[in-house]
A and B are shown apart, each in its own frame.
Chain A
Amino acid sequence: MDMFIKFLVAAIGAGTPLLFGTVGEILNEKVGHLNLGVEGMMAIGACAGFMGGYLSDNFLVALLCAFLAGMLAALIYAVLTVTFMANQNVAGLTMTIFGVGISNFIGVYMIGTSDSGTLKLPETVTAQMRSIHIPVLSDLPVVGELVFSYNPFVYLGIVVAAVTGWYLYRTKTGLNVQAIGENPGAADAASIQVTKWKYFNILLGGGICGIGGAYCGMIINGGVWISNSVNGLGWIAVALVIFAAWKPHMAILGSFVFGALRVLKYYKVGFMVNLPDAFFDMLPFLITALVLIITSMRGSKGAHIPAFLGNNYFREER
């Protein structure tokens, strides 16, 4: 039982960067843009967040840096794909190559400027991002550990996902925005400002990915800068969007399930002991592939994929 609670706690931690990436990508895909640059935007967020915290001694400044850097990266993508109508796949892949490259590059450069040869977040920042401890509540048996024992990213992620879900499904603007991903021509005819809302969603999504990246840069390696901290999580996030059926509240569940899959290899029980670790690493991708195939088998009934996903919208070609 104790082991199981530890497993759940670890799963939620491991799922949090995925949650940010997934919500960010959902915002992109809802306006019809399949952004394969999540990995890159997260890497840029990781670098900006870490360096922001390193230089300013302030956790909130770090978060803000990560968010703005993610937005800036998304701005490049948006200008290229929305205004310049460039191929989305190529623009996204380029963002990934560029983002991972510049993140590692700046990391190595900053290490070169430090005296000790390593980059470590100052104590004030690590104190602020440590797991919370609320008197009484955190000390409750089971519940305390399961609900009140995480670092601030976890709670922020759930709030961000919930608010995004509310925005997309419960506000008029959000429903309009979804129409853009389904049929931008019709949305345009209904006087929805297609370009404006595409920019809004892509930039907001990029910022959220950036914060997910900050989790990777600042938390995963315990406050020490190590290259490639995102290490493929952005791609799992792209996969998770499918698993979550393009719904932010499903993304909360999905990212914790995928987080569980990621840590499962440390908590093997029963028959699992004989399965190789590689199998557990493969599971998220295998499951996503299966989800993808099964939803396509069920045809349009089960498909939540935005109809115009991957295509650019040019008004004169309606």
Chain B
Amino acid sequence: MTGTVKTTKEPLFHVVKHAERTGRQMIGFRLLAVALSIVAGGLFILAIGHNPIAVYGTILEGAFRSKIAIQSTVKFAIPLCICALGVTLAFKMKFWNIGGEGQLIMGAVFASYFALNFPNWNHWVLILVMLVAGAVGGGLWGLLAAAFKVKWGTNETLLTLMLNYIALHLVSYLQAGPWRDPEANGFSKIARFDKNAGLDKVLGVHFGWIIMLVLVALVWIYLKRSKQGYEISVVGESQDTARYAGIHVKKVVRRTMFLSGAIAGIAGVCQVSGSDMTLSMGVAGGVGFTAIIVAWLCQLNPGMILVVSLLFSILEKGSSVVQSTYGLSSDCADVLQGIILFFILGSEFFVRYAFVGRGKKGGAK
């Protein structure tokens, strides 16, 4: 070799893939991340002049202090969990469905049509029709993005994002125009549903929680035990492999996105006819976005999604009590959620990779 070889100084450290971690190590890393985030959140609370232990205590106590508190905690979890199950199907296929929010809203809109126009139907027929309509509404909204994706390769992240806001403003159109309640004295809002169109209460909470539990089981079975679920995994791992194995990739993408949207749509039905008893602009209120984070956090495991949704609801409900006790904004739920997620996002790195210092040899063994 002639000429001079330019040598650069070796960097202080570099990143290598870490050998497969054991399950216990992985859980350990995540628990450590949660612990650190609680400390960081505590420092934040301390910085604004409150006692972190007392505030955390209030959150926990606030979520469980009475039967009503527990019931409303569960009520928070229902749309979040169902919506997270919906996006899970799409994510398993590596289809970035950011449109849970819009699909939830469309489900709510379709269900509201029946609740507002046919309140005198037999109760169970009406509820069933609303659930089916909600699923179809959400499903079609999801299918729309999938259809463009498979036809022309339209970026699904951005398209589903836009569809969220199109759905939201559709609600604002409905409440100001065709569905406006004439008895609301100039307010543009949609009338309250007839009691007949409401989900019945079981143990003090509308039976959306039963739907939620059933869906957790169904999604688990669908993903782990059905042929279609297997197809989703293959398409998610490698579309070429899927095609080679004779899987109709486009069909799988369309079908899965319909189902993904349909489940989010059912969450919408639970919101309008279980929780709100009307359709409003706030029907989704960011649940569709939080659901994405929950699904990812749980690594698309339906059982974990149920647990984490409940934990998030405790934070949500507890923070509303912090608001009344300390005069702090209930936005502290979002702040704490954000901090926890930042730490867990960071911890994922240490599960998969490792830093190796200068001069040391290392890597996947």
Contacts and interface: CB of A to CB of B under 8 A. Distances in A.
Interface of A: 34, 36, 76, 79-80, 83-87, 89-91, 93-102, 104-105, 107-109, 112, 232, 235, 238-239, 242, 276-279, 281-282, 285-286, 288-289, 292-293, 296-297, 299, 305, 310, 314-316
Contacts of A108: 328-329, 331
Interface stretch (B110-118, B130-138, B149-157): B149-157
A97 B290 contact: yes
Contacts of B158: 238-239, 242, 288, 292
A121 B286 CA distance: 30
Contacts of A80: 342, 345-346
B327 interface: yes
Given A101-B335, A109-B329, A316-B17, A278 B161 contact: no
B173 interface: yes
19 contacts: A34-B157, A36-B161, A80-B345, A84-B349, A86-B345, A87-B296, A89-B96, A90-B293, A93-B292, A93-B293, A101-B337, A102-B334, A235-B165, A239-B162, A282-B170, A282-B173, A285-B166, A293-B152, A296-B148
A118 to B, nearest CB: 15
B362 to A, nearest CB: 12
Interface in B307-332: 327-329, 331-332
B257 interface: no
Contacts of B338: 94-95, 97-99, 101-102
Contacts of A85: 349, 352-353
B331 A101 contact: yes
Contact of A285 (B17, B152, B162): B162
Given A87-B296, A98-B338, A109-B328, A293 B148 contact: yes
A86 B349 contact: yes
A126 B329 CA distance: 27
Nearest to A305: B155
A105 B328 contact: yes
- Size class of B's contact patch? 35 or more
Contacts of B286: 97
B248 interface: no
B15 interface: yes
Contact of A90 (B15, B296, B327): B296
A79 B346 contact: yes
A291 B17 CA distance: 40
B251 interface: no
B289 A97 contact: yes
Contact of A239 (B17, B161, B176, B177): B161
Contacts of A299: 152
Contacts of B161: 36, 235, 238-239
Interface in B333-354: 333-335, 337-339, 341-342, 345-346, 348-349, 352-353
A242 to B, nearest CB: 6
A278 B173 contact: yes
Nearest to B172: A278
B346 A84 contact: yes
Given A102-B335, A278-B170, A293-B152, A94 B345 contact: yes
B165 A101 contact: no
B201 interface: no
Contacts of B163: 289
Contacts of B203: none
B48 interface: yes
Contact of A86 (B292, B328, B332, B346): B346
B317 to A, nearest CB: 16
B193 to A, nearest CB: 21
Question: Which residue among B152, B154, B165 has the maximum number of chain A CB atoms within 10 Å of its CB?
Answer: B165
B169 interface: yes
Contacts of B15: 83, 314-316
Chain B CB within 10 A, most for which of A101, A282, A286, A315: A101
A265 B169 CA distance: 14
A98 B335 contact: yes
A288 B162 contact: yes
Interface string B28-63: 000000000000000000001000000000000000
Contacts of A238: 158, 161
A292 B98 contact: no
A97 B172 CA distance: 23
A240 to B, nearest CB: 11
Contact of B293 (A94, A242, A285): A94
A85 B155 CA distance: 21
Given A97-B289, A285-B162, A310-B157, A91 B345 contact: yes
B218 interface: no
A297 B17 CA distance: 38
Max chain B Cβ within 10 angstroms of own Cβ: one of A85, A93, A315: A93
B16 interface: yes
Contacts of A104: 329, 331, 334
The 7 closest A-B pairs by CB, nearest first: A98-B338, A101-B334, A278-B173, A108-B329, A84-B349, A282-B169, A296-B154
B293 A282 contact: no
Given A91-B345, A235-B161, A278-B170, A101 B332 contact: yes
A277 B328 CA distance: 35
Contacts of B98: 36, 89, 93
A86 to B, nearest CB: 4
Nearest to A314: B15
B159 interface: yes
Given A90-B296, A239-B158, A285 B337 contact: no
A296 B153 contact: yes
A90 B347 CA distance: 14
A153 B165 CA distance: 27
A97 B329 contact: no
A117 B155 CA distance: 46
